[in-house]
Amino acid sequence: SEVSALFINSTFGWAAAGIQSNAPAYGQASLGTMFDYALNDAFNILSGVYSTDIGDVTTDSSARHGFYFKLPKRDSFVWFNESQWNARLGSISSQLNLGFWVEEGEFREGSTSVSHNWNYGYYLVLDRIRLSEDGLTGFVRFAASPSDRNEFVSYFDLGISGRSFIPSRPDDHWGIAYSNSVLSDHLFQGENPETEGVVELTWQAHVGDGLIFQPTFQYISNPSGHEGSSVSDSLVAGIRIQGEW
């Protein structure tokens, strides 16, 4: 989601908790290929296959530079398929993404000896929801996967962001987002799994040429995701400083 990129908590990142594939992500890449075909100005189809073997950065020198140059020693891959539709409903426009992923490998049912050769999941993204002409935009995402081989059964988040409402700071942006992750009662039998939630409020302030200060305030409910856990709800505050030259 382009809109969710404003937020600092990693749950609002590219895959969130709902897509539990071992696909390469920021920080470590691997070999893969992607196909992108535009049927028309409003509809795209994307498909990509990637190796899930990103190497061991502690023992393999070829994996220490952010990209694993070797072909995998075992058959292990993940296949993503997605359709993108630029939709419009009255004055509200958005991009609707529908997709699924399939991964080959060995996926155990928790600590048991039962394993599966495949994992898979589905996701939906409503992105760049333009709610007003003055820059108010939003996003909604949902993902689901089987409970017998994934820690999270489903994931949901949404958020909005907008331009600064302070006349003297027209380049600033603000945002508020919420996420909810549902843990698998199949993998966590006897541990009373429940949900974990995150609320984030952030403000991106342009304080000079190429210098951005972004404070963030986050409330995390039930951080362990389990009923009766000794880990209490948490309030987190921080700041990200970004420089561009």
Residues 6 or more apart whose CB falls under 8 angstroms from that of 220 comprise 196, 197, 198, 233, 234, 235, 236
Structure confidence by residue, pLDDT tens digits, 93-136: 899 999 999 998 888 887 788 899 899 999 999 999 998 888 89
Q: What percent of the chain has pLDDT over 70?
A: 85
Give the span between the Cα atoms of 89 and 79, in whole angstroms.
Answer: 32
DSSP per-residue codes, 144-166: E--TTT-SEEEEEEEEEEEE-SS
CB-CB contact of 8 with 202 (8 Å)? yes
Beta-strand pair 115-130/137-144? antiparallel
Of residues 68 and 113, more confidently modeled: 113
Of residues 188 and 150, more confidently modeled: 150
**Residue 112: what pLDDT?**
81
Give the span between the Cα atoms of 49 and 192, in whole angstroms.
Answer: 36
- Taking alpha carbons only, the member of 150, 148, 125 closest to residue 138 is 125
**Residue 64: what pLDDT?**
66
Average pLDDT over residues 137-142: 95
Cα 23 to chain center, whole Å? 12
Give the span between the Cα atoms of 99 and 230, in whole angstroms.
Answer: 37
Mapped onto helix, strand or coil, the DSSP state of residue 11 is helix
Residues 6 or more apart whose CB falls under 8 angstroms from that of 83 comprise 43, 44, 45, 46, 97, 98, 99
- 2, two tokens: 């382009």
Q: Give me the chain's average pLDDT, please.
A: 85
Residue 19 has pLDDT above 90, yes or no: no
Give the span between the Cα atoms of 82 and 223, in whole angstroms.
Answer: 31
Residues 6 or more apart whose CB falls under 8 angstroms from that of 98 comprise 82, 83, 123, 124
Give the span between the Cα atoms of 128 and 93, in whole angstroms.
Answer: 8
Q: What percent of the chain has pLDDT over 90?
A: 48
3-state secondary structure 51-115: ECCCCCCCCCHHHCCCECCCCCCCCCEEEEEEEEEEEEECCEEEEEEEEEEEEEEEEECCCCCCE
The one-letter amino acid code at 209 reads D
Residue 30 has pLDDT above 80, yes or no: no
Residue 17 has pLDDT above 50, yes or no: no
Structure confidence by residue, pLDDT tens digits, 164-214: 999 999 999 999 999 999 988 888 876 777 889 999 999 999 998 889 999
